[in-house]
Amino acid sequence: MTAVHIEREEFEAVAETEVDSRGRVSLGRAGAKPGRRYRVESTSDGVLLLTPVVSIPEREMAVWKDPELAESIRRGVDQARAGKTIDLGDFSAYLAEDDSED
């Protein structure tokens, strides 16, 4: 992970909180929204930097790494929205027994 250098004057004190017995802190007063994810970085003197992040499943990383694949998917979505699809029928005959959603 690349270290981020941020000068202290870029920060504004917005709240004070206390670590509970399980190592948690409440960040609601600091503007953190429920369900939001943060990357946590620390310095040797204990300063913590929280950076909002969006996590994606590893299986979707190929789309982010390959602009041509991403464009192909966008094209397909646009075509589907425009009704430019072809019904290929029922594929349930090809399901393996362990593929059922029961």
pLDDT one-digit tens code per residue, 12-47: 888 888 999 999 988 888 888 889 999 999 888 888
Whether residues 13 and 33 fall in one domain = yes
Whether residues 49 and 29 fall in one domain = yes
CA angle 55, 60, 63 (to 5 degrees): 115
Within-domain flag for 48: yes
Whether residues 43 and 62 fall in one domain = no
Residue with tokens 């996590």: 55
Within-domain flag for 95: no
Within-domain flag for 39: yes
CATH number at residue 32: 2.10.260
Whether residues 44 and 18 fall in one domain = yes
Q: What range does the domain containing 71 cover?
A: 56-85
The per-residue pLDDT for range 68-99, each reduced to its tens digit, is 999 999 999 999 999 999 989 999 888 887 75
Within-domain flag for 13: yes
Q: Is the pLDDT of residue 4 over 80?
A: no
Q: Does residue 92 or residue 8 have the better pLDDT?
A: 92
Whether residues 47 and 62 fall in one domain = no
DSSP letter, residue 49: E
Whether residues 46 and 64 fall in one domain = no
Whether residues 18 and 34 fall in one domain = yes
Count of the separate structural domains present in the chain: 2
Which of 48, 43, 21, 44 has the alpha carbon at shortest distance from 32? 48
Within-domain flag for 32: yes
- Please state, in angstroms and rounded to a whole number, the distance separating the CA atoms of residues 57 and 71: 19
Q: pTM of the entire structure? A: 0.51
